[in-house]
Amino acid sequence: MTYPRLIALLSALVVVLFTASLVTGPAGIGWGEGLWALVRDDGGPATIVMREIRLPRAILGVLVGAGLGLCGAALQGFLRNPLAEPGLIGVSGAAALGAVLAIHTGLSAAFALALPTAALAGAVLAVLVILLLAGPRGRVLSLILAGIAVSALAGAATSLVLNLSPNPYAAAEIVFWMMGSLADRSMTHVALAAPFVLAGGAVLLSLGRGLDALTLGEDAAASLGVRLPRLRLMLVLGTAAVIGAATAVAGAIGFVGLVVPHLLRRATGARPSRLLPAAALGGAAMILAADIAARSVLPDRDLMLGVLTARESAPLGLHLVRRPAQKKQ
């Protein structure tokens, strides 16, 4: 399959799943009625459901999924490690810690946007710590070690908050939030996350040529004119913006940034510049599909999105493991 055809196919899949997400839910609104309710402005129940509940959820599904897939592909290309994923540099763990503290202290109940704002603050703090630990000209290993340290510290702090939480309801809310979900999101959440995801995504997409050169090694990339410190800085900032915003509005969602680039790597010729847009579209499709399944499997209660993405990704990961083994035989 040619690359333009792959992009066209993935784009069509995202459009179909986006439309399906808009008309999926317990309200019993049909396809025609639901899509027409988005256009008209009569203030009826169907219009309110479509504009205030389903449309923000579908938009966030595209933003979060595309961001996770794009960050996973960018990190795997930069680190030249197929096991790299967005949580490796610790931004998602720090964002989760910020949200957990907002729930634990009661700020999330007092202020509607306290939770996503605290998560974004945690992501920004993580970036500053990582850049401080890794140094302005630190190599790839320094970045990985700094990310692991921040991730471990954030995970330990989150566990400590859960352990010391005197309110069992707050602890339960923390656990459910960490599973990831797009339920009960509004256009306010879209307005909060979209600028960070779009800006960070644009930064990561601009790194394609540098990542292509980096596949030849750091010395070869430097000889081709790639400024590695700048490339690393832009990668960290772009990933932090995307993952921080995605975690702030959707919680901790794993596996997407790890599995999606693997699924599309062969189709893109293992070129990072081609893999980045494809992984963004593939991630959006996976999150939309998982969110539709979360509302369809048990219509009376939403399954948590992180559970569904893990359920989708595990068989795909096993298939990817088996395929090279079968070739060797």
Say if residues 315 and 244 touch (Cβ distance below 8 Å). Answer: no
Share of the chain above pLDDT 70, in %: 92
Domains of the chain listed by start with CATH number: 3-328 (1.10.3470.10)
Structure tokens at 192: 């909060």
**pTM over 0.85, yes/no:** yes
> How many angstroms separate the CA atoms of 9 and 282, rounded?
10
**What pLDDT band is residue 323 in, cutting at 50, 70 and 90?**
low
Say if residues 313 and 259 touch (Cβ distance below 8 Å). Answer: yes
Instruction: Give the count of beta carbons closer than 10 Å to the beta carbon of residue 275.
Output: 28
Q: Which amino acid is at 308?
A: L
CA angle 309, 313, 319 (to 5 degrees): 165
pLDDT digits (tens, 9 = 90+) for 155-181: 999 999 888 877 777 788 788 878 888
Q: Please give the DSSP secondary-structure letter assigned to residue 304.
A: P
**What pLDDT band is residue 58 in, cutting at 50, 70 and 90?**
very high
Write down the pLDDT at residue 322.
63
**What pLDDT band is residue 325 in, cutting at 50, 70 and 90?**
very low
Structure tokens at 129: 């710590």
Say if residues 75 and 256 touch (Cβ distance below 8 Å). Answer: no
> How many angstroms separate the CA atoms of 243 and 130, rounded?
15
Residue with more model confidence, 76 or 1: 76
Map tokens 């009569």 to a residue: 42
